[in-house]
Chains A and B, each alone.
Chain A
Amino acid sequence: MGKTLFEKIWDRHVVTTLPGGMALLYIDRHLVHEVTSPQAFEGLRLTKRKVRRPELTIATMDHNVPTEDRLNIKDPISRAQIEALEKNCREFGITLYDLKSDNQGIVHIIGPELGLTLPGTTVVCGDSHTSTHGAFGTLAFGIGTSEVEHVLATQTLTQKKPLVFKVEFTGQLQPFVTAKDMILKLIGAIGTAGGTGYVFEYGGKAVQNLSMEARMTICNMSIEAGARAGMIAPDDITYEYIASKERPFVPKGEDFEKSVAFWRTLPSDPDAHFSRSLSIDASQIGPQVTWGTNPGMVVDVTDRIPQPDQVPGCSRKDVEQALAYMGLTPGTPITQIKIDTVFIGSCTNARIEDLRSAARILKDRKVAAGVRVLVVPGSEQVRAQAEAERLHEIFKAAGCEWRYSGCSMCLGMNPDQLKPQERCASTSNRNFEGRQGKGGRTHLVSPEMAAAAAVEGHFVDIRAWGKK
């Protein structure tokens, strides 16, 4: 029997099978940020252990970073955490892209940008959205701090082999419907635990037609359906992205050709076995808007807020709690929900294509009165590219705030937060209670939907509105 993409990568990285059946899995790349690493480095210090392969570890700071006056971190605890990362990287010999670097950015945006993310490799990071890197045909997953320490010390992880769940998107997307809508549709269909224990492999025509940036958006939110990793088979679109500009960690010349030849062997064999599979007709997907407090609580923009007893997979109590938190009434049309804030950013939707999409909507238009719009590029490279294309002028002319890169209002560890009961159309990945600020109300949408909501002050069906 043939092998899946996942199995091909897994098998190549098993160092040994341990007593009890767990695999000792080799890690090719370890990405590190300031929030989940300090206790791991401290653990190494206490046990007098070294970083086994410092050259395979790359660090940046993103979660705490202010997006206005970025070198002036006013919160002393945030500053201490960033300084701890600087000190740890110096002490253990790890390359750090700090706040003065042109390569700084959200860890999952800079990995692909720098060519750290390559097909057929294993990538981990102390961050659940590490699943993003799977868009390249990479086995990439998030880990906790104990596992960060384990990788630093041994360049391996002890892992139980997950199962593979094939998700096929057939057909063609409607205009203005995006990768964000595809992944939200999937999460709505299978629930936030529907992928637990699995790695997703996304395929089908609608996925093959996507750019790398859009593929990253899909893989990024695999974890929101419970799957630690999501993968897409590499193809010519992948190789073109990797070769499209100077990426310091990409193999060069003959090595690149050899790598491509190897990468072409990675896609799942025709007779490979998947433990579960699901097919979704992409042409039937409308723009998605979340209404509740987890990403599975989602409907089409043309729908209404559901009745508490009409949400599959959710108890009445959970729905009532979510609606009370969100300040929403069952039966309300989604397009009547007014918003106070728009956040365009995060590792889900802050790559250059996302900013171009939002800018196309906002060009020659104005943000509605009373609506605050933050546009936060995912990396300094994205920011520079956007400015070279003068997108920032479009955003500013429309009335948006144009910021420096970082995780920003996706989780509000920096000063970018919602106030209690403020309602936000957000291109990020989590609508959990308090995620964007205590009491804040988050609706997850695509960049196009967020930008149109900014103009109108409420949600609109971008398919009709975008033709205007």
Chain B
Amino acid sequence: MDSFKSHRGLIALLDRANVDTDQIIPKQFLKSIARTGFGGSLFYDWRFLPDGKPNPQFELNTPRFKGASILVTRNNFGCGSSREHAVWAIQQFGFKAVIAVSFADIFRNNSGKNGLLTVELEEPEVEEIFQMVQRYKGLEATVNLDEQRVTLHLPEEISFHFEMDASVKEHLIRGLDAIGLTLKEENQIAAFESRHDPQWFAR
């Protein structure tokens, strides 16, 4: 997994609540058996018109957000289906971090496993970012995981602290292989299996 320490980049806004993973990556793109190639399909039904041309009404298609790497959105981002393709699509489109009021549980887990940083801020803080981005074209932010801090690079910088589970943070910063770490617990797993109730399973 890619590690995440700190990232500075352009902010893009997605002013919608309850963005579900069906919107992030629609079903027709889930048929792939590969782990790559999803970036072009991100928000497909919102990004593209029926004739395949970009939808000028959709926020992320506006020129000012071209090249953005930090996505800021509202509450309950990533709800619905467990499809990890949603995380892959966001990363492969170019985003390194998503900032929201809240995330759905499975989406947040999936993000952590792939090195996509999910930052939860309070609603007024997210609202402040929205207002600042609307006011200052090209506004960049730094998301520093080590310090658990989001900084808006305004003439007078504004910073927000965010909470982060300690073990998730360590995994992200060190880019750890979760399966490799668990396999080190092999003795514990084997011992557990030897005492775990076998009669539950007919064989």
Chain A positions within 8 Å of B, measured between CB atoms, are 15-16, 18-22, 24, 26, 28, 35-36, 38-39, 42, 47, 49, 52, 55-56, 63-64, 75, 77-78, 80-81, 84, 115, 118, 120-121, 126-128, 142-147, 149-150, 153-156, 158, 160, 162, 192-193, 196-197, 223-224, 226, 228, 248-252, 255, 258-259, 262, 294, 296, 314-315, 317-318, 321, 411-413, 420, 430, 432-435, 438
Docked pose: A251 CA to B80 CA in angstroms = 34
Min Cβ gap B133→A in Å is: 17
The reply on B51 being an interface residue by CB < 8 A is no
Q: Is the CB of A39 within 8 A of B35?
A: yes
> Are B196 and A26 within 8 A (Cβ)?
yes
Are A49 and B80 in touch, CB under 8 angstroms? no
Contacts of B183 on A, CB cut-off 8 Å?
A: 49, 153-154
Cβ–Cβ < 8 Å partners of B31 in chain A: 35, 64, 75, 77-78, 80-81, 413
**CB nearest to A255 among chain B residues:** B199
Minimum CB distance partner of B165 in chain A: A160
Contact of A154 among B18, B85, B113, B189 (CB under 8 A): B189
Question: Min CB distance, A119 to chain B, in Å?
Answer: 9
Asked whether, in the complex, the Cβ of A294 is within 8 Å of the Cβ of B109, the reply is no
Contact indicator A49/B84 (Cβ below 8 Å): no
Residues of chain B with a CB closer than 8 A to A18's CB: 167, 185
- Please tell me if B131 contacts chain A, counting CB pairs below 8 Å: no
Main secondary structure of the interface of A (DSSP, over half): loop
Most chain B beta-carbon contacts within 10 A, residue among A15, A26, A78, A228: A15
Using C-beta atoms within 8 Å of the partner chain, give the interface range for chain B: 35 or more
Residues B35 and A42 in contact, CB atoms below 8 Å apart: yes
Highest count of chain A CB atoms <10 Å: which of B79, B113, B165, B189: B79
| Cα–Cα distance between A314 and B31 once the two chains are bound (Å) | 33
Residues of B within 8 A of A (CB): 15-18, 20, 22-23, 26-28, 30-35, 45, 50, 75-76, 79-85, 87, 102, 104-106, 109-110, 113-114, 165-167, 170, 178-179, 182-183, 185, 188-189, 192-193, 196-197, 199-203
A197 CA to B120 CA in the complex, in Å?
Answer: 14
Q: Are A156 and B167 in contact (CB under 8 A)?
A: no
Report the Cα distance A317→B15, complex, angstroms.
9
Query: Given A24-B189, A192-B76, A197-B105, list of 19 further CB < 8 A pairs?
Result: A18-B167, A20-B166, A24-B185, A35-B30, A35-B31, A39-B34, A49-B179, A52-B189, A56-B201, A81-B32, A144-B106, A146-B110, A146-B114, A153-B179, A162-B105, A294-B18, A317-B15, A432-B22, A432-B23
